[in-house]
Structure formats: structure tokens, C-alpha cells
Amino acid sequence: MSGIPLAPVYGPRDAEYPGLYPYTRGVHSSMYRTKLWTMRMFAGFGTAVDTNARFREIIRSGGTGLSTAFDMPTLLGLDSDDPMSLGEVGRCGVAIDSLADVRDLFAGIDLGTITTSMTINSPAAVMLALFVAQAEESGVSREHLGGTLQNDILKEYQAQKEFVFPPRQSMRLVRDTISFTAAEMPKWNSVSVSGYHIREAGSTAAEELAFTLANGFAYVELAGLAGLGVDAVAPHLSFFFNAHIDFFEEIAKYRAARRIWAKWMREHYGAKDERSWQLRFHTQTAGVSLTAQQPEINIARTAIEALAGVLGGTQSLHTNSMDEALALPSQKAARIALRTQQIIAHETNVTNVADPLGGSWFIEELTDEMEREAEVIFAHINKMGEGSMLEGCIRGIEENWFQGRIADSAYELERSFNSGERVVVGVNDFLEGNDEDDMATLRITNEDERKQLARLEKVRHDRDGEQVRRALERLSREASDPEVNLMDALIDAAKSYATVGEMMTALVGVFGRHVEVPSL
Amino acid sequence: MTVRVLVAKVGLDGHDRGIKVVARLLRDAGMEVVYTGLFQTPETVAAAAIQEDVDVVGLSMLSGAHMTLAPLVVEALRDHGSDIPVVLGGIVPPSDLDELKELGVAAVFGPGANAHDIVNVITSIVAASR
């Protein structure tokens, strides 16, 4: 502000610089001077028509990417009229049953120019098929589609628990989507390897870092088994980390993540393409850090967490809304969350210099320590897999190792809150104001559920039942042959207006269902 | 007499951090805790509660489906002639609290509820129902 001239980056001559291997300081040499992070706000509720309106509002307010939140039935591959869907339709995301819903979801939005992220895992291949079918119907060919499919099924078994098929069968679908997008969708990120949910489920920062990167290694090895070289898959993996409230530890975590990924891709997996070495990531502020007490103060928490993501060099960012410990965000709360990013981007000048904390004795030591802790965990996973990270991740799930560690860490943290050893403002200290008036929150009524059921009924009525039957039959047949890539059969089924539930049921018939053994 | 608790995840919500942490905290307080696992229906929860002969059922819901599902669990228990009290934890807007009470949910614990309060409330609900 005072006009002091700033260099794009600082450091002694022999220092490591951003844009150079191993990228501790960032994947681009001039970082946000050249391109700001993408302000990608996660949204979805009610019917596709409701969410389409929120998407347009986000674009009007200056959001630069879309991110779709699906409701629980969709995430578990159930139709809205499934008995298990009762009460959940459109509640914590948008309800998608068929191509008709995807068409309304993206109505008036040019899929050739705005990138779209879809947060879905077990039915990820089904949703990708619906998305491709919709884009092609609207005149955008698949090679022009840019965006990300979360498609990170390993962390579902480890942390978020939205699974359908057993782990090994799920990994076949991940393999198919990786192969399909590598061949036909060059601008698409096939997997968003996600630590966010691992952290939200209670892990420490180091566990989030290590479990996530180990899962990333597993996907590289999985693609390798399908004949894809590391340089065909790694550039299309993106990452997704949490920005929790421990400010410096988070920044160190992102820096360590880039360095570890670069080293493992180059040295362990033999990647030659520098894009394979570069870990690009999305960040979301920590939902679990939000308090239901004095919800307005969550704006401050979110701002601090978002700043950690930016100082850590994130490529895109979602900021949580102040009311999310109470309900899905209201439009106003979501706008304030986006404004928080805009203040960081346009007012604070933190974007002028890449990795401004690089060279700090504290940050560098913390980065090294994060890397050391992660390597200890990698060694354990590698041992579980007898030399294979892919096998180690799957066995770690089957043996409840990841789940147990996350639950232990969550319990330890909770005890420290209960004992008062850690302070949470408004929860165990500084309680004045807790009894003030309640904040108005977004109401999702059962009306949305009724509307969606009517929409689904119309689709079932209008479509050609014989065409649907043939498409589903083909899907079952091809699913029984593990060598076949299922994407073509899924796109065919999507175009016939087969529903998400019908496609998933066909796959369950072949793959079976996963049941987690309950453990405390 | 030791308090026996069934903790349950009803519906499609897989978020199990809260239920696992609370289950361990209840055990620390000397209660016996049984966990159903994920993706239960109101009917399976009621059946398990009766079979395990628990003193209280604790539901955890973070997906927004509590207004539909929590009362159905109460109803399923009552249909079986059981008066086991049902408590709820999770993401629950304050505006839903009165209606949940009317529908028979004995207590609601929102985010930030501390272990001490949860234990005390459950203990007094159980004492009142015995």
C-alpha cells in the first residue's frame, strides 16, 4: 500500500524456489501474481432447479468455478423414491436421479468454459456418465470438459463412510474412470484425492497428509495395473485438503504435501513429466471448527483458515459459511463466505509474493517434521501391503487400521476440549452472547422431496422402457467381465434415462455390497 | 445400576465421528454402550434396543433428516410397546427443538455439547424413566 516495490518471490541465491522441483514453495514460479486461486464454492440443495439458481447466483457474485454437493441418496446411489431415501432427498445436497436432473442442474451454464467439480464417490462413474451425456446433448464434446470428479473411494471407507460396493470392486470403477478420462477427457481431473474428510472425521494434520498421499500413490499403482504409465495418470490427479484452525501447522502441511508428492512421483514411481511431480490442490476451511454457539464468530475462524490455504499455495478454495454448524448455508451466509476470499485476494496484498513464509525457521522445521511423520505412516502402510501402497491402503481399510487411528485421534481431541486444555471460543470459554437470538437458517422442507418424486415419476413415465432395460442388461453383462471398461455402457444407460439407482442396482447385482463391521 | 445405551446411525448419513466419540465418553462415565453400525432403519434400531434391553437410545444425525427419522424411531419403539427414551445428537437447527420434543425426543445435543452435560442429561432421563 505504501508503494514499496515487491519481488515475486524472496530467498537467498541457493534457496529452493517456487515452480521448481520439489515444489515445497509452490507449483508455479509467480503463484497468484499470474493467476489467483479459483474461488470454488460448494453448493447443492433441493431439486436441480433450486441448485441451478444458486449456481447462477455464485457466478453472478464472482465465483469462478462450480462445485456440486449431492444429497445422501445420490451419494449412495439410491433413487429419490427408494424407501431408504425417506427424509434425505435434497437435504444436504441436490437430488439427482437421471439425465433430466443433470440437464436442469446446468441449464444456462456453459460447461465448455466454467469448470465443474462433482463431489461424489461410490457412484462417481455413474455421475461422470450422466455429465458427459448432458454435455454432449448440449453440444459440448467430452474433450472440452474441464473439471474434477472426486472419485476418491479409499477415503470413503477410511473416513466419510459413503460406500456401496466392497473396496476392491469399487477400485475397478475408479480404474475405469481414470482410463476413460485419460483417453478421452484431457482437461479432466479423474480423482480428487481428499484429505478433507479424513481430517473432518478426526485425524491429526499429519495423518490427513499421510493417508491422503498414500491413497494418491494407490491410485497411481491402480492405473499402472491397467497399463497406464505414471505420466498418463499423475497429472490428472488433484488433491483436496482441509484448512483447520492451527494456522502454521496447516501451511506446513501443504508445503510438505507438495514436496513428498514430487519426490515419490519422480524417485519412487519414475515420473518424467514435471506435471506428474506437481501436487495441485483445493482447500476447504474446516467444518468441524465451526461452532453453533455465537455463529457469527465463525466468519473470523473461516477467514484465518482460508488465509492459511492461500499462504500455503492452494489452487482453489471453498470457504465455509458461518451457519454451517446449524444447517446448510443461507444465501447471505454463503455470500459472506465468498466475500471473505475476495477480501484476501483483492485487499490484503498477500497475493503479491509467492510462499511469503518460506525461509522462516519455524515454518521450514514444521514442514520437515510433517514430512517425517508422513514417511513413518507410509512405511507402515507399505508394510501392510507387502511393498504395495495400493494393497496397503486396501488392507488397512479391511483391517480397520485407518478407521481406528482416526477414531482414536478424534477421541483424544474431544477429551482435550472437555478438560479445557484446548479452548474453543463460545464452547468452553468466553460464553457471553451464547444465549442471544437464534440465527435464521435455510429451511429445506419436505416440499422439495415431493417435487423431486414428481420429477422422477415423470422421467420413468416418459422414457422408452425397453431401451432402458437393454442398457441395464448390457451394464450388468459388462460388469461381470473385469477386463471391460464400464464407462461406455454407463454413458449409454445415462442417455436412455436409466436412473442412478437403476445403474447402481445393476452394479450391486454383480459387485455385491460392503458392510462395515461396527467398531467403537 | 449401570446405564445401558444403544447408539445408532439411522438413514444414509455416514458421518460417524460424533457417535464414536460420544460412545467412548459414555463408556468413560461407566455406561455400557452398544453401537448398531451405519445405515440402520427406525425398525432395526427399535428391534436392537429392545433385544439389547437398553435404558436409552442415542441417535446421531448430521444430514438434516432428523425431523423425519428421529420421530420414526420413537414411533417404532412405541409400536413395540417400549417406552425407552430416545435422545438425538448432531446438526440440529434451534428452530427444530420444540417440535422434536413434541414428537417424543427426550433431549437434543447440538455441536459443542460437552461430555459432562451429555452424561448428566442421559443419567437423569434414565432415572426418570425407571
Give the model's pLDDT for residue A369. 98
Q: Are A409 and A158 in contact (CB under 8 A)?
A: no
Q: Does domain B4-129 have CATH number 3.40.50.280?
A: yes
Rounded to an integer, the average pLDDT of B38-66 is 96
B59 CA: distance to closest CA in chain A (Å): 15
Q: Is B80 on the interface with A (CB under 8 A)?
A: no
Q: Phi/psi of residue B80, each to 5°?
A: -85, 10
Give the model's pLDDT for residue A439. 87
Report CA-CA distances (Å) from A375 to A99, A195, A218, A256, B38: 44, 16, 15, 11, 32
Q: How far apart are CA A67 and CA A41, in angstroms?
A: 6
Exposed (0-12), middle (13-18) or buried (19+): which is A463, by Cβ within 10 Å?
middle
Give the model's pLDDT for residue A370. 98
Give the model's pLDDT for residue A40. 86
Residues 6+ apart with CB under 8 A from A122: A75, A76, A77, A153, A156, A162, A163, A164, A165, A170, A504
Overall residue count recorded for chain A in this entry? 520
| Radius of gyration from C-alpha coordinates of chain B | 13
Give the model's pLDDT for residue B1. 84
On the question of a cis peptide bond just before residue B93, with omega within 30 degrees of 0, the verdict is no
Judged by CB atoms closer than 8 Å, whether chains meet at A410 and B15 is answered as no
SS3 B114: coil
State which H helix or E strand residue B56 sits in.
strand B56-61
Chain B residue with CA closest to A73: the answer is B12
Number of H helices, E strands in chain A: 20, 9
Give the model's pLDDT for residue A95. 97
Give the model's pLDDT for residue B23. 97
Judged by CB atoms closer than 8 Å, whether chains meet at A327 and B64 is answered as yes
Helices within B1-104 (DSSP H only): 17-28, 42-52, 66-79, 97-102
Q: Is B14 on the interface with A (CB under 8 A)?
A: yes
pLDDT in tens, chain A (520 residues): 788 999 999 999 999 999 999 999 999 998 999 999 999 888 899 999 999 999 999 889 887 788 999 999 999 999 999 999 998 999 889 999 999 999 999 999 988 888 899 999 999 999 999 999 999 999 999 999 999 999 999 999 999 999 999 999 999 999 999 999 999 999 999 999 999 999 999 999 999 999 999 999 999 999 999 999 999 999 999 999 999 999 999 999 999 999 999 999 999 999 999 999 999 999 999 999 999 999 999 999 999 999 999 999 999 999 999 999 998 899 899 999 999 999 999 999 999 999 999 999 999 999 999 999 999 999 999 999 999 999 999 999 999 999 999 999 999 999 999 999 999 999 999 999 998 878 888 887 789 999 999 999 999 999 999 999 999 999 999 999 999 999 999 999 999 999 999 999 999 999 999 999 988 8
Q: How far apart are CA A309 and CA A242, in angstroms?
A: 8
The DSSP annotation for A220-243 comes to HHHHHHTT--HHHHGGGEEEEEEE
Q: Any idea of the CA torsion for A341, A345, A349, A351, to the nearest 10 degrees?
A: 120
A102 CA: distance to closest CA in chain B (Å): 22
Judged by CB atoms closer than 8 Å, whether chains meet at A410 and B23 is answered as no
DSSP state of A133: H
DSSP state of B40: B
Give the model's pLDDT for residue A386. 98
One-letter amino acid at A448 equals D
pLDDT beyond 80 at B51: yes
From the candidates A418, A436, A438, A517, which should be mutated to test the interface with B, based on the most B CB atoms within 10 A?
A418
Q: Are A307 and A25 in contact (CB under 8 A)?
A: no
Give the model's pLDDT for residue A92. 87
SS3 B43: helix
State which H helix or E strand residue A119 sits in.
strand A116-119
Domains along chain A?
31-418 (3.20.20.240)
Give the model's pLDDT for residue A1. 78
Give the model's pLDDT for residue A62. 84
Report CA-CA distances (Å) from A159 to A195, A402, B16: 9, 8, 8
Report CA-CA distances (Å) from A484 to A124, A165, A192, A232, A396: 17, 18, 24, 19, 27
Chain B residue with CA closest to A406: the answer is B17
Judged by CB atoms closer than 8 Å, whether chains meet at A417 and B114 is answered as yes
pTM of the model: 0.96
The DSSP annotation for A434-488 comes to TTSPPPP-----HHHHHHHHHHHHHHHHHS-HHHHHHHHHHHHHHHTSTTS--HH
Q: Phi/psi of residue B57, each to 5°?
A: -110, 130
Question: Residue B93: its chain A contacts at CB < 8 A?
Answer: 326-327, 438, 441
B75 CA: distance to closest CA in chain A (Å): 15
State which H helix or E strand residue B4 sits in.
strand B4-8
Q: How far apart are CA A324 and CA A306, in angstroms?
A: 16
Rounded to an integer, the average pLDDT of B34-46 is 96
Q: How far apart are CA A111 and CA A117, in angstroms?
A: 11
Question: Residue A517: its chain B contacts at CB < 8 A?
Answer: 37
The residues that bridge with A356 in the sheet, in sequence order, are none
Judged by CB atoms closer than 8 Å, whether chains meet at A326 and B13 is answered as no
ipTM: 0.94
Give the model's pLDDT for residue A157. 98
